Copies of this chain bind each other. A is one copy, B any other.
Amino acid sequence: MPLTLEDIAKHAGVSRATVSRVINGDINVRKQTRTRVLEVIQENNFQPNIAARSLAAGRTNVIGLIIPAGVSAIFTDPYFPYLIQSVSLACNAKDYSTMLWLAEPEFERRMMRQILHSGLLDGVIVSSMLMEDPIIQALYGSRKPFVLFGRHPKLDVNYIDAENVRGGYEATLHLMRLGHKRIATITGPQDMIAGYDRFEGYRRALVERGVAFQPELVAESDFSESGGYAAMRRLLLHRPTAIFVASDTMAEGAMRALRDAGLRVPQDVAIVGFDDMPHASRMNPPLTTIRQPTGQMGALAVNTLIDIIQNPGEHKRHIILPIELVIRESCGTLSMS
């Protein structure tokens, strides 16, 4: 059977309360006492029982990561493993653990009960939700600390985000500078904020340069590879010479569609992606794209959440990370214009 605080206390010749203080970094412990207790803890590889701590103190050092299971992109877009990994590592580094929730509508009620009422989670990180998702509403109405991946258009919540609008803008502008006139776009879902904002950037670039917006050059998709493929096939009917795709993974699908149609990149169609996932540089040709710091964002979300848990009631945190245009070979060069 695992040891208890009481056991450690006995070994160290102090009370159970003192051991607890040592573990929790209370200042009111004599240095000598602290050292002795720490030694005994080390020797016995002691780990306090989380359930007991949770019950007594109301905290668990566990946070939840919610990703909607409906997002089919979760299977083709390395964005998700990267996100999960960076969150998991950042948690470990702060002595927290990660509980993963793939939100299925079917189990949503159960999930929300667990999250809000079971006392299991100190806080939660939410990624890739639809803006109108009831989960966000439920969290917003509770006092459970949470941070969103991606800003929210209506609610004042804590969030981490990238400069998505500027990303879409820079990508489109890059294509314009290369002389393209018929620039299409494959967007993410318009009920997801990242999908919406990247498309907004595209529109702004057109407006700014006085280019008429043409609805037939827009295909909404779902951030998945096969979605990008299907969207590209639809756009092909309208003969764009360039295309801004709102994720690298969709860009991969789009390039597959172009290849199947016998078109060359960049000679026939130029492409800019979004994300700068590692495989972007391995595509054929290597993909020009907008880089966002996915790895950093996971860690930042964790640290922000922990900060909120420890200092509740302060102002909402809004963190927006810079993007950057990475030029490779999928747009050709200036001379082609």
> CA separation between A117 and B2, bound complex, in Å?
6
- Choose among B51, B55, B110, B279 the residue that contacts A76 (Cβ–Cβ < 8 A): B279
Q: Assess whether A284 is interfacial by the CB under 8 Å rule.
A: yes
Q: Assess whether A275 is interfacial by the CB under 8 Å rule.
A: no
Nearest chain B CB to A109 CB, angstrom units = 8
Nearest chain B CB to A148 CB, angstrom units = 20
A92 touches B120 (CB 8 A): no
Stretch at the interface among A93-101, A194-202, A235-243: A93-101
- Choose among B50, B74, B113, B284 the residue that contacts A85 (Cβ–Cβ < 8 A): B74
Using A51-B51, A81-B81, A284-B260 as known contacts, say yes or no to A88 and B111 having CB atoms under 8 A apart: no
A213-238 residues with Cβ-Cβ distance < 8 A to B are 225-226, 229
A62 touches B107 (CB 8 A): no
Nearest chain B CB to A297 CB, angstrom units = 16
Return chain B residues, CB-CB under 8 Å to A282: 225-226, 229, 256
A15-48 residues with Cβ-Cβ distance < 8 A to B are 45-48
B102 touches A99 (CB 8 A): no
Return chain B residues, CB-CB under 8 Å to A106: 92
Q: Assess whether A140 is interfacial by the CB under 8 Å rule.
A: no
Which range contains the number of A residues in contact with the other chain?
Answer: 35 or more
B75 touches A81 (CB 8 A): yes
A48-106 residues with Cβ-Cβ distance < 8 A to B are 48-55, 60, 62, 65, 69, 74-76, 78, 80-82, 84-85, 88-89, 92-93, 95, 97-102, 104, 106
B114 touches A97 (CB 8 A): yes
- Choose among B46, B75, B110, B226 the residue that contacts A92 (Cβ–Cβ < 8 A): B110
Closest to A52 in B: B55
B69 touches A88 (CB 8 A): yes
Q: Assess whether A311 is interfacial by the CB under 8 Å rule.
A: no
B51 touches A60 (CB 8 A): yes
Q: Assess whether A335 is interfacial by the CB under 8 Å rule.
A: no
Q: Assess whether A11 is interfacial by the CB under 8 Å rule.
A: no
Which chain A residues have a beta carbon within 8 Å of chain B's beta carbons?
2, 45-55, 60, 62, 65, 69, 74-76, 78, 80-82, 84-85, 88-89, 92-93, 95, 97-102, 104, 106-107, 110-111, 113-114, 116-120, 225-226, 229, 256, 259-260, 278-279, 282, 284
Q: Can you list the 4 inter-chain pairs with the closest CB atoms, starting with the nearest?
A: A51-B54, A47-B117, A100-B100, A47-B113
**Chain A to chain B contacts (Cβ below 8 Å), 15 pairs:** A45-B117, A49-B55, A50-B114, A50-B120, A51-B52, A51-B60, A55-B55, A69-B88, A69-B89, A75-B82, A88-B102, A97-B114, A97-B120, A99-B100, A229-B282
